[in-house]
Structure 1
Amino acid sequence: MQLLLSPPLPLQLFQDFEDYFSDNVNGGYPEIAPIKGALGIGEVTHFSPTRLWRRELHIRVASTAITVHSVYQILQQSSPEADLSSSTSIVRTTPPDFAPTGASSFRLSPLEDPPTLSVTMSLVNLAHVCTHLQNASKARLGLTSIPSTNLHLTLAHALQKQDFLSSVTRAGPTPPAPEMIADPSSSPEAEVTQANIASRRLWLGLKYWNNEPVLRKMWMVSKPTKRIWLNHHDLGVIVRGREAGYVKGMTNPGECLFVTTLPLTLALPAAAASLAYLNARLSLSYDYNLLGSFIAGSVVGNIAQRRDRANLFYVLEGHALNPKTASNVFLIYQNRQWTYKEAYENVLRYATWLKRRHAVTKGEIVAIDFTNSELFIWMWWALWTLGAKPAFVNYNLRGESLLHCIRTSTARLLFVDEEVKAGFSGDVLQELSSGGFRDGKGAVETVVFSKELELEILATDGVREPDEARGGVRLQDMAILIYTSGTTGLPKPAVVSWSKVRLAGYFVSRWLGLKNGKDRFYTVSSAHHHASKKSMPSFVNIRDSQCMPLYHTSASSLGLSAALQAGSTFILGHRFSPSTFWPEVRASSATVIQYVGETCRYLLSSPPTPLDTQHKVRLAFGNGLRPDVWQRFQERFDIETVAEFYGATEGPSASWNLSRNGFSRGAVGRNGRLASLILGGGLTLVELDPLTDAPLRDPQTRLCRPCAPNEPGELLYKLPDHEDEWGSKYQGYYDNPAATASKILRNVLKKGDAWYRTGDLLRHDQDGRWWFSDRIGDTFRWKGENVSTTEVAELLGTHPAVREANVYGVRVPSHDGRAGCAAVVLDASGEPSAELLKDLAQFVRMRLPKYAVPIFLRLVSTMDVTGTMKMQKGELREEGVEPGKVGLDRIYWLLPNAESYQRFGEREWKALEAGRVKL
């Protein structure tokens, strides 16, 4: 059975609704009865949307191009009240933007029954048909063809009936004659035989209006591997304009929804129906994947430790020596590739060279300051081969920040590639070579990797060190030193344990479903250097920005480690650019891409092209994807799944969200009922004092106050009760017990307990979703209220003229607290127009509470971000809005009674200082 639905008209137009339903139920369509109860109202018309517009809106339509969007969605029906013996397919058409309210109708008209078919193969073919019809319309073809199947014929007839197609003709591989298209009965159809059945085609006539395609957009939302469960109530929700599962609500006038039930060969028993319902309500299958991945990672890690194989060198060796995987591609970098066997041999060569030339020994820390390249990986794994520990230095650092990182690593050896060496100043080199640099332990030997040195190493005969060199390693022992981003101070060396490297990597590989020899995991970085201010860590300009550097935990522990443990291919990019990102993804046949911070926003800033969806990517994985970017990124680039996570390099745990629909879009974590029950005791949110950022405590018990659902609070992770067991989850900072202890909060939910402070404000809801609110210290207080910089920035980012927004609080004379200031990058350069400044003022005032409206706008040409793509606020906050401190940036302000943002300069600043202006 098929139904055609669209949004309802006013109720007075629905007088014959009951008669229509009675006729069709008696005529053999019992499935309509429960739908009637769910939808409640409706009216039937035999006019298609385009006919309605042409007849009733002729004057309006005459000078306007019609653009009809069509979306084909395959859904599986599930309801405790309904018989789950059928799957449901939906075709959706959306009318042009100009159609006024009231031009739509609710149509429920039975179409022909499609036959039973193999659902999976048919859906794969149907996805190709949707793409083909969309491309044919863009190419302005008058006639095109698709394979002749019963399902394709049913869809084509439905589209023709609704005036999206002008003709449907079944013929052979060559176009039919014009007279046959005009009147198919004029020429008898050729007999279908076993010899010609594969060449039968459906020839479709495409329609255009004012040189615009009527069928403008058509794509597959559901896929055989992505099931959507809907019941009759959900259909009512969709028709009323609200989202249900993957299916967005019908809100556009004249919008159509084709619904087709496809009988299955086997009816599902009642028990299966109940299980499906419980799965949808409790997220059982989601939790099964989440918890199963956790458990599998723990089991694999513990087995490796018992076998004295915690070092990941053994995973690389296992792939390299296994005849089934040795020839699989392990690494692709700049159009070169290395198999697992070749990578293993290179690692042994580097390890042999390190031992012979520089006497690197077991347990020694060696600093690496490399850009993304294969050299980074060979050096990193070679140190592990010898039982040594690499310290990953952020290659953007300069001056005191760089010296601080090398000094705190205690390394006697520093390896630098030629690209990084170009940014070393004479003062830095002189300081490193001084005998007192390492607290009296001697100078640091700086080794620059030249092309000649690389060739020398590759000519070395690699020798595998005995297992004793890597033996005695526990999962809680240090594997790598990775430095925090240092947005509020000098970077601190976080201890990354074997547990994190091995267990987190294995968890990610299983959670994402990475396949041995099939998946290709793409990550990219930049080698751009940007001078630092005030000896703080360097920040990166977005035009040459880092996407995922190997010195960061996401790329090393969650990226390369995950790909390695899955036996997949790791594709390493060197420099990120929005214009080259997708060409590299397509050329490498990547199936998974890794993002961080603002990467996805930068990709959206590039002009759309027809190639945006021409890729093999099934999943985007990373952290920091803003909610205002999430959906636009998925829809424009046709990304089926977003895997977002939240965590810190030194943190004992993380949160995970595998999002395939709107339910968890924008969340940084998600747990179903089962996962919440099992994992819920390991994390909590506590209320904070808005003035001191310290946890609020109950005056009687002196314990912290947990947050209610949807109430923001600081996220805490539970540590073991006994301090000597903390190392299994939290290793802290290397050789810095004070910094390690500063992250611990005691007496939280009971006397004597200990929790790790994340320093971030999150909130959670009753459905198990976790949402990022703000970074503690970024939230500011104005007019007695707390303002979340993240929420305000996300709102500003939805304005069509704003490319990027970074919100922070600034001190202003004669006022308490901090006033909101938004540093923004506009799409258009030059002086903003008066209309735009007025529109921005109205935009924020209509959508934000009065205290959260940014008082100041600072127009910047580019946004500075950290090496991990987090927007930098510290220097902006220090500079404030005093005209003499903001350089060439322009400042605007919004006075309480003004209708628009106005220019702010020296005169206005002096008025503030004199107390003549009240904000």
Structure 2
Amino acid sequence: MLFEDQQWTWGKVVQESADRAAAIVATVPAPADRQRHIGVLLENVPDFVFWIGAGALAGAAVVGINASRSGPEIARDIAHADIDLVVTESRLAHLLEDTGHGLTADRILDIDDDRYAEFLAPFRGADLPETIPSTDDIALLLFSSGSTGAPKAVIVGQGRLARLLGPLTERVGMREDSIAYLCMPLFHGNALMLNLGTAMRAGATVCMIRRFSASRFSDDIHRYGATFVNYVGRALSYILSRSEDPRDRASTLELAFGTEASEADVARFSERFGCTVVEGYGMSEGVFRINRTPDTPTGSLGVAVGGVDVRIFDEDTGQECPRARFDETGRLLNSDAVGQIVACGAAHTFEGYYKNPEAMADRVKGDDFWSGDLGYRDENGFFYFAGRSSDWLRVDSENFSATPVERIILRVPGILSAPVFAVPDPTTGDQVMCAVELEPGAEFDPAVFGATLAEQPDMGDKWWPRFVRVTAQIPLTGSNKVNKAPLRAVAWNTPDTVYVRVRRTSEYVLLGDAERTRIEREFVANGRAALLPTPEPAPVA
């Protein structure tokens, strides 16, 4: 394992893990009704790997904590996951100042503090445990989307992880002489399983980077001679936005494996670095995977693999949806083809969410596993992604709920209602859109809107609406709840007045015909024409 100017052999990694495993057993009291839970609030540093290994050796569950979340959210996650000990570093320790997590100071270890070395000193050179954990023990708790409501911590058992790594290692072609470039966050299943896990399984070398940086990507690839990289979301797009290094076309990269990159970025990255780029669809929950094949159409996720019966079901009727039909531009013609992606008869393979029966009920229905993702399927069996069925949005690989964004927008003077929802991004993932209904007599002022949002200290960088629709009446259901479905369906393609945010500013301008045309062309260029919203008919005079 390589990190900055340091390196560790496999034997040293195992010893560091054994030391920490001994520390866990000696210093963390064993709860009567569960395993010990170790929280890791670190960037990609060697100690993250050592504590993952320690958990495996000691039979403790390791919980990766997302450092991009706020202090109160992290405190809630720690409390929800019953974390007994948190390992952090000086640059992130401030995120633990909210005492809602319930941990005392001696239950928080800072790896940059002198006392950390003192804590580990008695356990240096520890022997490996004589017993190994059960295959039923929890290896990892991976937090899925969660900004409001009950958190979702996906259970990953020791047995599932062991069974999964074999096929994954083969899938990504990891070998003993491979050099894996690890730049995606280790609290995420993508990095843990596709990169670190497969490299461990194959005995490969891992080059670990503290955090992803598009500006240093090329230098790092050439410096380490990396042959493999995993990615999520816009990572490829960010890399491609940087000036090309003359060495790129002769790089050592063989394979980039990930999710949510556009067709155009996949092609450009492959050409620039002379490597294969493979897109796949999977979930931290496991259960099923969808992978691209050589004959996969543009814009498609691919086909289900592993023998799992994956279909598209209507969320209301529970019946299978008809197959998708397209026009000559690739736009979907029959909207009734869109439904939830369901793994039929596979619910028994889902290990569950930790302490969240409500979320479990959403996923497990009889013998079937409902993914929570929308999609459609063409006549040849290829799947296409169509967004998320709940109010979660995914922008730049960050998942968040619409609810906190709505609360912030309602602080803008004159706004009565402001539902927030996801609309497709021309490259990958979602964009944020909101519809606003004004108080009687109020007028929408885009300057006030942008300035007010800019003043809000709790406004996330990814939360800013890209589009703002001003409408006379927000659609409601029969029970007077906001009905976001028709808003999502037409998105910005409505006769109502729509404003668009000027990128990376607080300025909003009218969305005119020229910009609409440019947006449509961008979708087409990226092979995502099928995601363009359906035009809303103009009201009858």
Task: Give the superposition deviation at 1:406.
Answer: 0.5
Secondary structure, aligned partner of 1:464: coil
Where does residue 654 of structure 1 map in the other structure?
Answer: 289
Where does residue 740 of structure 1 map in the other structure?
Answer: 360
Tell me whether 1:684 sits opposite 2:311 in the alignment.
Answer: yes
Tell me whether 1:715 sits opposite 2:351 in the alignment.
Answer: no
1:352 to 1:667, Cα distance in 2 relative to 1, 3 A: same
Secondary structure, aligned partner of 1:595: strand
Task: Give the superposition deviation at 1:630.
Answer: 2.1
Among candidates 210, 219, 241, match of residue 583 of structure 1: 219
Tell me whether 1:462 sits opposite 2:125 in the alignment.
Answer: yes
Among candidates 90, 108, 114, match of residue 446 of structure 1: 108
Amino acid at match of 2:359: A
Where does residue 771 of structure 1 map in the other structure?
Answer: 384
Task: Give the superposition deviation at 1:483.
Answer: 0.6
1:818 to 1:771, Cα distance in 2 relative to 1, 3 A: closer
Q: How does 1:808-823 map to 2 (within 5 A)?
A: 812-815=470-473, 816=475, 817-818=486-487
Among candidates 608, 612, 620, match of residue 256 of structure 2: 620
Offset from partner CA, 1:791-814 (integer Å, 9 cap, x none): 7566999xxxxxx99987755331
Q: How does 1:150-549 map to 2 (within 5 A)?
A: 331-359=1-29, 363-425=35-97, 428-429=98-99, 431-432=100-101, 437=102, 445-456=107-118, 457=120, 460-468=123-131, 470-474=132-136, 477-486=137-146, 489=149, 491-516=151-176, 518-524=177-183, 548-549=184-185
Offset from partner CA, 1:865-899 (integer Å, 9 cap, x none): xxxxxxxxxxxxxxxxxxxxxxx232322379x99
Matched residues in 2 for 1:795 and 1:736: separation? 26
1:398 to 1:792, Cα distance in 2 relative to 1, 3 A: closer
1:745 to 1:370, Cα distance in 2 relative to 1, 3 A: same
Task: Give the superposition deviation at 1:375.
Answer: 0.6
Offset from partner CA, 1:274-301 (integer Å, 9 cap, x none): xxxxxxxxxxxxxxxxxxxxxxxxxxxx
1:608 to 1:558, Cα distance in 2 relative to 1, 3 A: closer
Where does residue 860 of structure 1 map in the other structure?
Answer: 503
CA contact (8 A) 2:179 2:206 kept: yes
Q: Percent identity?
A: 21
Where does residue 302 of structure 2 map in the other structure?
Answer: 669
Matched residues in 1 for 2:214 and 2:245: separation? 12
Amino acid at match of 1:400: P
Matched residues in 2 for 1:665 and 1:332: separation? 37
Task: Give the superposition deviation at 1:665.
Answer: 5.3
Matched residues in 1 for 2:392 and 2:23: separation? 51
Matched residues in 2 for 1:502 and 1:795: separation? 30
1:709 to 1:444, Cα distance in 2 relative to 1, 3 A: farther
CA contact (8 A) 1:810 1:818 kept: no
Q: How does 1:5-84 map to 2 (within 5 A)?
A: none
Matched residues in 2 for 1:417 and 1:712: separation? 45
1:900 to 1:508, Cα distance in 2 relative to 1, 3 A: closer
Task: Give the superposition deviation at 1:581.
Answer: 0.8
Matched residues in 2 for 1:365 and 1:779: separation? 27
CA contact (8 A) 2:229 2:256 kept: yes
Matched residues in 2 for 1:613 and 1:712: separation? 40
Where does residue 279 of structure 2 map in the other structure?
Answer: 644
Where does residue 407 of structure 2 map in the other structure?
Answer: none
Matched residues in 1 for 2:115 and 2:350: separation? 39
Task: Give the superposition deviation at 1:642.
Answer: 1.7
Matched residues in 1 for 2:211 and 2:66: separation? 15
CA contact (8 A) 2:352 2:360 kept: yes
1:805 to 1:410, Cα distance in 2 relative to 1, 3 A: closer
Matched residues in 2 for 1:509 and 1:458: separation? 35
Offset from partner CA, 1:836-855 (integer Å, 9 cap, x none): xxxxxxxxxxxxxx659994
Offset from partner CA, 1:638-693 (integer Å, 9 cap, x none): 22x2222212212422222366xx7555432336xxx6xx72x6211123xxxxxx
Matched residues in 2 for 1:383 and 1:624: separation? 31
Matched residues in 2 for 1:415 and 1:351: separation? 13
RMSD: 3.9
CA contact (8 A) 1:509 1:566 kept: yes
Offset from partner CA, 1:421-456 (integer Å, 9 cap, x none): 14443xx14x44xxxx48xxx898222222534544
Amino acid at match of 1:522: Y
**Unpaired runs of at least 5, structure 2:** 326-336, 394-420, 432-461, 476-485, 520-538
Where does residue 609 of structure 1 map in the other structure?
Answer: 245
Offset from partner CA, 1:62-119 (integer Å, 9 cap, x none): xxxxxxxxxxxxxxxxxxxxxxxxxxxxxxxxxxxxxxxxxxxxxxxxxxxxxxxxxx
Matched residues in 2 for 1:464 and 1:683: separation? 46
CA contact (8 A) 2:291 2:303 kept: yes
Secondary structure, aligned partner of 2:229: strand
Amino acid at match of 1:520: I
Task: Give the superposition deviation at 1:551.
Answer: 0.5
1:743 to 1:372, Cα distance in 2 relative to 1, 3 A: same
Task: Give the superposition deviation at 1:381.
Answer: 0.9
Task: Give the superposition deviation at 1:858.
Answer: 1.3
Task: Give the superposition deviation at 1:767.
Answer: 4.1
1:513 to 1:489, Cα distance in 2 relative to 1, 3 A: same
Task: Give the superposition deviation at 1:335.
Answer: 2.7
1:855 to 1:503, Cα distance in 2 relative to 1, 3 A: farther
CA contact (8 A) 1:592 1:618 kept: yes
Task: Give the superposition deviation at 1:462.
Answer: 2.4
1:423 to 1:363, Cα distance in 2 relative to 1, 3 A: closer
Amino acid at match of 1:594: N
Matched residues in 2 for 1:443 and 1:761: separation? 44
**Unpaired runs of at least 5, structure 1:** 1-330, 525-547, 688-693, 698-702, 721-725, 747-753, 781-786, 798-803, 823-849, 863-887, 902-916
CA contact (8 A) 1:613 1:637 kept: yes
Matched residues in 2 for 1:713 and 1:644: separation? 22
Matched residues in 2 for 1:561 and 1:741: separation? 30
Secondary structure, aligned partner of 1:756: strand
CA contact (8 A) 2:56 2:133 kept: no
Task: Give the superposition deviation at 1:616.
Answer: 0.4
1:552 to 1:581, Cα distance in 2 relative to 1, 3 A: same
Among candidates 891, 898, 902, match of residue 509 of structure 2: 891
Number of equivalences: 440
Task: Give the superposition deviation at 1:488.
Answer: 6.2
CA contact (8 A) 2:321 2:338 kept: no
1:792 to 1:461, Cα distance in 2 relative to 1, 3 A: closer
CA contact (8 A) 2:134 2:158 kept: no
CA contact (8 A) 2:61 2:140 kept: yes
Task: Give the superposition deviation at 1:719.
Answer: 3.6
Matched residues in 1 for 2:429 and 2:88: separation? 42
User: Which protein is bigger by CA-based radius of gyration?
Assistant: 1
Matched residues in 2 for 1:384 and 1:766: separation? 45
